[in-house]
Structure 1
Amino acid sequence: MPPPSGFRYQERADGTVLITHHGRAAGTLRGGRAARFLAEVTAGDPQLVMARWTGAYKHGNERTARSHPRNRR
């Protein structure tokens, strides 16, 4: 699976962080959560961090789903 892409974040003057994915709002963080996000996004891979914070990341069942009978070809 390719790494996540298309995420952007915008820090607003009131301390709110808006995360978008391909131009559409994916999440809004305020207060302490926004501060933790900003600290983490500067320390790691921004795309992966934003995907994890918005919930749009691998859930661990992709390999199991691939071998399910309806997904076999």
Structure 2
Amino acid sequence: MILRKPNRTISGLLDLWPGKRLLGVYRFLPFFFVMGAGMEWFMINVRLGRETFYDVYRRKQAERQYEAAATEESNN
């Protein structure tokens, strides 16, 4: 395995992120927490067409349950 030197540009950009002395590598966690919360809000509240992500999820889950019940009933 070949070890590569870190890219100076990327290292420089990462060093610009605040909180290095206080939080170390964990300084990125608040950013990802907010990103995840924003994505979850988007999936719940934003409609693409007539449905949200969770509308599609619930419909597909109901379809799977119906198919499983129909398959089980046909096997009996």
Q: TM-score range by the shorter chain?
A: under 0.3
Q: Counting strand residues as a fraction of each chain, which structure ranks higher? A: 1
Larger radius of gyration, structure 1 or 2?
2
TM-score by structure 1 length?
Answer: 0.28
Higher relative contact order (CA 8 A, sep 6+): 1
